[in-house]
Chain A
Amino acid sequence: MTDPDLTDPHPIEPRLVADDLVLGYEKDRPIVDGISFDVPTGAVTVLVGANACGKSTFLRGLARLLAPQRGSVILDGRSIHERPTREVATLLGLLPQSPSAPEGITVADLVARGRHPHQRWYRQWSDRDEEVVEHALARTGVAELAERRVDDLSGGQRQRVWIAVALAQETDLILLDEPTTYLDLAHQVEVLDIIRDLNRTDGRTVVAVLHDLHLACRYADHLVAMKAGRIVAQGEPSTVMTAALVQDVFGLNAQIITDPLTGTPIVLPVPSDDGGDGSDPCDNGSRALAGSDRPGP
């Protein structure tokens, strides 16, 4: 956005915009420190950054889960906090980092709860509800598990069910907070393929926080690197992911090579003989904070 050389491959009007957004859990300790960002419509945007750099907080802010300390989030031209929350829920969906399934709930019942913003107490199951839920179950490959208990599923299956919940919400914009955490590589790829398919087939706008830089580069149309609550670089992964950026953002001495299968960048950490200096440029005392915003179960 700041770099005129970066031609936007999706020259569509942005629908979700952060304007000078400051977010935090305490006064004078911003986690997100004045970000202005247009979410590219119809693209897959991936946020990366070191632990506690504010990427999840930024995503939660975009999803109106946090009230801004300053600035605003704008959805279709209007401040997201001034719009009725249920109306927003029909436009913007979120898969949180650690959603909790009620004990004993079945897959079908859980996915059906994704229809919440479209339902009323007297209209609990329209034809459209059923159609969308069935589609979400099929799309994420969990239709055959529909009557199983979510407690009994594997981690990969469970994550696909949660994506189905977000799909059942039937929104054009979907935000995902670390959708691949705790999954093995095969299941990470499986989940990311589903996510990409939502974009490629339906044209949905996707924003995801990912930890794995290799997969982030593979699946992102637009890569956003964050450090200490600010965006330090954004654009196509091949342009953004440089050795200098990895050094700056992660404090990691790395070499960038090209993925022979996809042509996207791969970050190779350079082995250190002396064990490295162990410094973490992003960890300026905010780790404790990040820990305290998620109370234990």
Chain B
Amino acid sequence: MAPPILRRHRGATVLRVPGVRWSFRFQLRPVLVTVLAGAAAFAVLVWSLSGGRPDIAPWEVVRLLAGGGDPALRPVLFKFRLARGLGALYAGAALGVAGVLFQRITRNPLATPDLIGVTAGATAATAGAAIVGGVTGVALQGASLGGGLTLALVVYVLARRSGVLSSYRLVLVGVGLTYLFTSITAYLVSQATLNQAQRTVTYLVGSLGAVGWFEADLVRDVLLVTTPVAMLLCRGLRAVELGDDAATALGTRTEAVRLGVLACGSILAAAAAAAFGPVAFVALLAASIGRGLAGDRCVGLLPAAAVGALLVVAADLAARELPPHELPVGVVTAVLGAPFLIALLVRAGRTGELG
């Protein structure tokens, strides 16, 4: 069988596998960004895993992860720290992918799942289930996931007009519902007992403190299922980006693609919110930074996933190490994200791209 052929065409890279006649056309830059950001995320993860009581040296962490190292340290790493570390990694990746999917399909950099209601739905459902229903454990994650997906569906239905989804309406409806559900959540918390309220509020700001293997595995599994589907949908997404008429003329079922992309994004965002609470702004930051690094020419799911993973792992480390007392990770990402959002708004206001 002939070996794969790699060559350039008009600024893109073409990979051909002659035997099966498979061929791929892609950009090298996003591949590089994915690898570098992924490597950086892993490095920060190792650093993050090494800190705490007892301190484990970074190289020891790597040895333990590879299956060697001091057996006495294994439980410390594998039972407690790793779940949290990997949870941060998966959550960041999931939010990054979700952010890109939402931004691309709506052609609006602000239309990320945390800004258009998915996350607000998940949090309100969690607060409701915990405070009113007294739900705990796995059922709470289920409620959260259900709440996020339900709100995504409501936003989708309300944003459609005469069978066509308008990105403008999506953002308006999403922002409106986010306010509504944030208020509902605040009301629920105000009605809760002190104990309930404290636990709920910790969740509400996005916390990795209580993350165990269940939460980490949940997000990992959702990522493993949803990301390949999203990557397949990117072909249709590239057509839909040319406008509905052009996409239909090219043989795309535009509404099915849009629904599929929004569903994938919502599932990823809701899963991350169910596991860790609303880790603010990560979807927006990861998708926008990913695009800035990888360039406009690709859809950029994987660069955003890697950047998101790096962001949340680093934010988790900072939340633990920097202040005198441990902060919820959502506070750190919010401190990073809010100025970024403002910068984006100022820039978008100048170029008028939010219309």
Query: A residues bordering B, Cβ < 8 Å?
Result: 25, 60, 63-65, 84-90, 92-106, 108-110, 112-114, 116-117, 119, 121-126, 129-130, 146-147, 165, 169, 295-297
Which of A86, A100, A110 lies at the interface centre, i.e. has the most chain B CB atoms within 10 A of its CB?
Answer: A100
Across the interface, which residues of A come within 8 angstroms of B355, CB to CB? 296-297
Residues 64-87 (chain B) with a chain A CB within 8 angstroms? none
Which of these, A60, A65, A86, A109, contacts B12 with CB under 8 Å? A109
B10 contacts A by Cβ under 8 Å: yes
Question: A interface, by DSSP: helix, strand, loop or mixed?
Answer: loop
Q: Number of contacts between A and B (CB, 8 Å)? A: 123
Q: How far is the CA of A63 from the CA of B247 in the complex (A)?
A: 12
Query: B residues bordering A, Cβ < 8 Å?
Result: 9-12, 14, 16, 20-25, 107, 161-162, 164, 166, 168, 232, 235, 238-239, 241-246, 248-253, 295-297, 353, 355
Closest 10 CB pairs of A and B: A104-B296, A89-B251, A86-B251, A96-B245, A108-B10, A94-B249, A125-B25, A117-B251, A116-B250, A125-B23
Q: How far is the CA of A60 from the CA of B243 in the complex (A)?
A: 14
Which of A97, A103, A110 lies at the interface centre, i.e. has the most chain B CB atoms within 10 A of its CB?
Answer: A103
Q: A147-B11, A296-B355 are in contact. Are A85 and B248 (CB under 8 A)?
A: yes
Whether the pair A96, B295 counts as a contact (CB closer than 8 A) is no
Q: How far is the CA of A242 from the CA of B246 in the complex (A)?
A: 35
Q: How far is the CA of A106 from the CA of B24 in the complex (A)?
A: 18
Whether the pair A113, B238 counts as a contact (CB closer than 8 A) is yes
Q: A85-B248, A90-B251, A297-B355 are in contact. Are A99 and B243 (CB under 8 A)?
A: yes
Whether the pair A102, B21 counts as a contact (CB closer than 8 A) is no
Whether the pair B166, A295 counts as a contact (CB closer than 8 A) is yes
Least CB separation from B21: chain A residue? A123
Q: How far is the CB of B14 from chain A (nearest CB, A)?
A: 5
Which of A94, A104, A116 lies at the interface centre, i.e. has the most chain B CB atoms within 10 A of its CB?
Answer: A116
Across the interface, which residues of A come within 8 angstroms of B353, CB to CB? 103
Which of these, A84, A96, A104, A122, contacts B249 with CB under 8 Å? A96
Which of these, A63, A103, A295, contacts B296 with CB under 8 Å? A103
Least CB separation from A147: chain B residue? B11
Q: A116-B239, A117-B250 are in contact. Are A106 and B162 (CB under 8 A)?
A: no
Whether the pair A104, B24 counts as a contact (CB closer than 8 A) is no
Whether the pair A94, B297 counts as a contact (CB closer than 8 A) is no
